[in-house]
Amino acid sequence: MGDEMGKYLIGCDIGTSGAKAIIADAEGQIFGSYYVEYPLHSPHSGWYEHDPEDYWKVFKENMWEILRQSRVRPEEVAGISVSACSPCCIMVDREGNALKQAPIWMDRRAQEECEFIRNLYDDDKIFEVSANPLDPHSGAVKLLWEKNHNPELYKKAYKMLNPANYVTMKLTGEFVTDYSNASLVGIVFDIVKREWRTDMADAIGLDADKLARLVPCHQVVGEVTGKAAKECGLHEGTPVVAGSVDCNAAWLGNGATRPGDASLVMGTAGALGVVHSDPHFTRNLTTIIHTANSETLYTTLAGTSSCGGLLRYLRDTFTEKEKELVKKEGKDIYDVFTAEAAKIPAGAEGLIVLPYLSGERTPLWNPRARGVVFGLAFSHTRGHWVRAMMEGGVYAIYHCLKIMQENHLPITTPILVSEGGAKSALWRQIASDIMDVDLNYMKDAKGAPMGNVINAGVGVGLFRDFEVAKDFIHVDETHHPDSGQHETYEKYYAIYRRLYEDVKTNYDLIAEIRNG
């Protein structure tokens, strides 16, 4: 660690509903931490957008607040790294102004564009190049939609950026995209060679020069400009590294740095990431170049649509008044839920939930899928509903884990688990029992912001390598699977899988009726 540079690092993660930033020293000790929410816009059914200005607004608010809390002088900050939700599609002009609100990863509008591309390239070719499925989720498909529906703005666009790259551009004036965000642009990104496939961009009708310059995640891409320094309270000239996708930053923060390392984040959605160096990819899952050692490592991602969000749905829909009463008693409604679910045996006495309340991503890729509650009887209590929701959320992750195992992806156990639903010891044990794996729980995992601190530290030379992530984690509890419970769950899981196959044609019929 050189004495000539500052000793503090800033990591900021911009999620789907809010942004969190931390300031830490070279030992991983946190001196300031702040979270601020921002709005999600849904102008039509299936459309989900952010105002890109909000990314910059919440980033600035975070910077002022963590510097105030920490009392760190701006010139003591050695480096900054930003991660964010992805894939999105922010069209910016030459000055870096966003031209319109940007469709985000949840957005489903570009289904016709997918069909158009599928007539040019079959799924095998797309998978061979990008290691990802063709879906409205992908950044390139979103950009094609913009070209088709907003041709004037598309012409005006200088570059397409993802949210992390947008903030980096606002800080430095540099239009770059890191390897992990480029992975989710999909189709036109060769994930092994780490370069744009300009021939494929041309074929589908996209201008390849609208794609940003590609860089490794930890590369210093520029310095904080005078203008950005004034707006954020930062020091002009502070190095900024390229950044990353949010889930990858979270896995790095959880200590996942080497091939075989696996990390499960039980947030609104479920995200199980497995690190590997071998360019051997798994169909129907998502592949993202890892934040750590992005020149050589990949993560195979099981990204389901609903996990922790399932209990939030129960809370917000059915317990609004009770939630407030429980709060007055100094308790948390989730603890009440867990206590009720703990009394219910594995399999929730025949109550099975398909957790596809907002469609499903891996491995079904079915935007029309919806939740199903099956086997409901008068004897089922609220505790049964809670337990069945917990189990359904894990069945969806287990479905992906089984595909990884069938594809011979090496996975080191225990799997690290953190955030959201993982705060419930019952839910963690259910996950261990269903998936038949050991889980290590980290109560105080700092997630993506800490992953960004590590990425920034490696980028500016404050850390020797990414292995420092392992020094910063602390395991609070290990869960071992109960073989008897797992046996019971296997029987219910088989029904869970069959249920989707039995009902899936009805999803299309409902969509047709609803869309009139």
Q: Are 393 and 272 in contact (CB under 8 A)?
A: no
> How much is the pLDDT for 493?
98
* Backbone angles phi and psi of 489, in degrees to 5: -65, -35
Give 401-447 pLDDT, tens digit per residue.
999 999 999 999 999 998 889 999 999 999 999 999 999 999 988 88
> How much is the pLDDT for 3?
45
Alpha-helix runs per DSSP H in 173-209:
179-183, 198-204
Give 237-280 pLDDT, tens digit per residue.
999 999 999 999 999 999 999 999 999 989 888 999 999 999 99
> How much is the pLDDT for 220?
98
Please give the mean pLDDT across all residues of the chain.
95
Section 1-26 average pLDDT: 86
pTM reported for the whole predicted model: 0.93
Query: Which residues lie closer than 8 Å to 17 by C-beta, 6 or more apart?
Result: 37, 38, 40
Q: Are 170 and 155 in contact (CB under 8 A)?
A: no
Closest CA to 390 of 280, 309, 300: 309
Q: Are 309 and 270 in contact (CB under 8 A)?
A: no
Query: Which residues lie closer than 8 Å to 62 by C-beta, 6 or more apart?
Result: 12, 19, 20, 21, 34, 36
Section 1-20 average pLDDT: 82
> What distances in angstroms separate CA 494 from CA 323, 399, 487, one per listed residue?
35, 10, 11
Q: How confident is the model at residue 2 (pLDDT cuts 50, 70, 90)?
A: very low
Q: Which amino acid is at 162?
A: N
Closest CA to 500 of 350, 370, 387, 375: 370
Query: Which residues lie closer than 8 Å to 242 by C-beta, 6 or more apart?
Result: 81, 165, 168, 176, 177, 178, 215, 216, 217, 218, 219, 221, 459
Which runs of E-coded beta strand occur in 191-305? 195-196, 213-215, 220-223, 239-241, 244-245, 262-266, 270-276, 286-289, 298-303
Section 199-221 average pLDDT: 98
Tokens of 411: 């996975």
Section 446-463 average pLDDT: 96
Give 135-183 pLDDT, tens digit per residue.
998 999 999 999 999 999 999 999 999 999 999 999 999 999 999 999 9
Task: Tell me: pLDDT of 192 over 70.
Answer: yes
Give 351-396 pLDDT, tens digit per residue.
999 999 988 999 999 988 999 999 999 999 999 999 999 999 999 9
Task: Tell me: pLDDT of 188 over 80.
Answer: yes
> How much is the pLDDT for 444?
85
